[in-house]
Amino acid sequence: MSYYDKYIKYKDFDFKGFFDKITDEDVLNSINKERLNEIDFLTLLSHKAENYLEIMARKSMNLTIQHFGKVIFLYTPLYLANYCINQCLYCGFNVTNKITRKKLEMDEVEKEAKIISDSGLRHILILTGESREHTPVDYIARCIQVLKKYFTSITIEIYPLDEHEYKELIMAGVDGLTIYQEVYNEDIYKNLHLSGPKRNYRYRLDAPERACQASMRSVNIGALLGLDHWRRESFFTGLHGNYLQNKYLDTEIGISLPRIRPHKGEFQPEFYVEDKHLVQIILALRLYMPRTGITLSTRERAELRDNLIGLGITKMSAGSSTEVGGHTLDEKSEGQFDISDQRSVDEIKNIIYKKGFQPVFKDWQAI
């Protein structure tokens, strides 16, 4: 059994017909349940549920505090390389884009690590494009050896790996994986990933499960919002998270909600996700999966991020750059996409305090 079986169950589901029939009573029943099933979750993603966001928000706030306390975990991304052999239409690193390609040497990784750790951050997310030639697994393992001196938690957002390769990186010091399916709709997926190994939908879809089987401590999934209708995509994301959470009890499952941002290339997203709908997704997810971490990155505006503290978000990036060596190198390269919240780690830390929450830099350390 793979999550694909679950996806197939709903692939041709009549979402519109379902949403059209939802009544006020259905929404209130789902909100008031102690444990929501997948149909309740879908009910809370409906048009009708938009009239009940305030009630959902109150329950979401209580559940978040009950399961996580009044804290926001902070991390920052570190781009190791932008070489990529895939042609993902929505990404600035896509193989057909004429950008300066770069990969950090070990001394450069160390410089980035020093600067980032001086800001107080202890959780780093390292990223590469997909190029086994330029950034093979052993290169990533060598970077981890350097980063371990500065950070207590190292998570990866790289190309999907086999289970034994995830094990190798766990042995090297990795404790978390972030991997987005980008778009769960299999037909749209094929149209957006024109060439390269990423065209293999199933291999990517099963990557979070392979990481769980390799005993990864935390696995974070998501869809890039804007590539298909958000009501369907967030439903498939929640189902995926719930599938993994119920099957792999020792792995902490998290969900990110990245909305597509401007980047180099012509691609324009067809399915714009409004702020109020992003809020609806957060609330519906929290009510469906009360103990799942939810991440909101610096893709989002400062004001929106500030307002969402307390509503269901548990993790935020801070002081981000999407350029290779973006924290230290003088010679700048193109970023993967534009950052919206450009504030420093200190500024974000202060806002979190102002909201009555505690910024957390370190919540885990390998023995």
> Least distance to ligand SF4 from the beta carbon of 263, Å?
9
Phi, psi angle pair for 155, to nearest 5°: -115, 155
The window from 80-88, 267-275, 302-310, 327-335 that contacts ligand SF4 (CB under 6 A) reads: 80-88
Task: State which H helix or E strand residue 255 sits in.
Answer: strand 252-256
Task: State which H helix or E strand residue 155 sits in.
Answer: strand 153-157
> Least distance to ligand SF4 from the beta carbon of 85, Å?
8
> Least distance to ligand SF4 from the beta carbon of 37, Å?
33
86 forms part of the interface with ligand SF4 (CB under 6 A): yes
Nearer residue to ligand SF4 within complex by CB, 3 or 267: 267
Would you give the end-to-end CA distance of the chain in angstroms? 33
Helix residue ranges, H only, the chain = 3-11, 15-21, 24-32, 38-44, 53-68, 106-118, 137-147, 163-172, 186-192, 201-205, 207-213, 230-247, 275-288, 302-308, 345-354
The window from 65-73, 88-96, 134-142, 271-279 that contacts ligand SF4 (CB under 6 A) reads: 88-96
**Which residues are paired to 315 by β-bridges?**
73, 295
Q: Tokens in use for 294?
A: 């939810």
How far does Cα 255 stand from its chain's mean position? 6
198 forms part of the interface with ligand SF4 (CB under 6 A): yes
The window from 25-33, 86-94, 202-210, 233-241 that contacts ligand SF4 (CB under 6 A) reads: 86-94
User: How far is residue 39's CA from residue 16's CA, in Å, rounded to a whole number?
Assistant: 14
Residue of 72, 88, 143, 289 interacting with ligand SF4 (CB under 6 A): 88
The window from 51-59, 89-97, 113-121, 267-275 that contacts ligand SF4 (CB under 6 A) reads: 89-97
94 forms part of the interface with ligand SF4 (CB under 6 A): yes
The window from 44-52, 91-99, 140-148, 312-320 that contacts ligand SF4 (CB under 6 A) reads: 91-99
256 forms part of the interface with ligand SF4 (CB under 6 A): no
93 forms part of the interface with ligand SF4 (CB under 6 A): yes
209 forms part of the interface with ligand SF4 (CB under 6 A): no
> Least distance to ligand SF4 from the beta carbon of 240, Å?
18
Phi, psi angle pair for 268, to nearest 5°: -120, 130
Residue 318: other Cβ atoms inside 10 A: 26
**Long-range pairs of 184-187 with CB within 8 A, sequence gap ≥ 24:** 184/7, 184/223, 184/228, 184/232, 184/233, 184/236, 184/237, 184/240, 185/227, 185/228, 185/232, 185/233, 186/7, 186/11
> Least distance to ligand SF4 from the beta carbon of 177, Å?
14
52 forms part of the interface with ligand SF4 (CB under 6 A): no
Nearer residue to ligand SF4 within complex by CB, 155 or 280: 155
Closest residue by Cα to residue 254 from 147, 177, 195 = 177
Residue 49: other Cβ atoms inside 10 A: 25
The window from 62-70, 81-89, 252-260, 296-304 that contacts ligand SF4 (CB under 6 A) reads: 81-89
> Least distance to ligand SF4 from the beta carbon of 156, Å?
13
140 forms part of the interface with ligand SF4 (CB under 6 A): no
> Least distance to ligand SF4 from the beta carbon of 188, Å?
15
Nearer residue to ligand SF4 within complex by CB, 161 or 287: 161
User: How far is residue 355's CA from residue 67's CA, in Å, rounded to a whole number?
Assistant: 18
Closest residue by Cα to residue 366 from 175, 183, 177 = 175
Q: How many residues interact with ligand SF4 (rule CB under 6 A)?
A: 9
333 forms part of the interface with ligand SF4 (CB under 6 A): no
> Least distance to ligand SF4 from the beta carbon of 88, Å?
3
The window from 26-34, 84-92, 249-257, 291-299 that contacts ligand SF4 (CB under 6 A) reads: 84-92
Residues 96-135, interacting with ligand SF4 (CB under 6 A): 129-130
Residues in contact with ligand SF4 by CB under 6 A are: 84, 86, 88, 91, 93-94, 129-130, 198
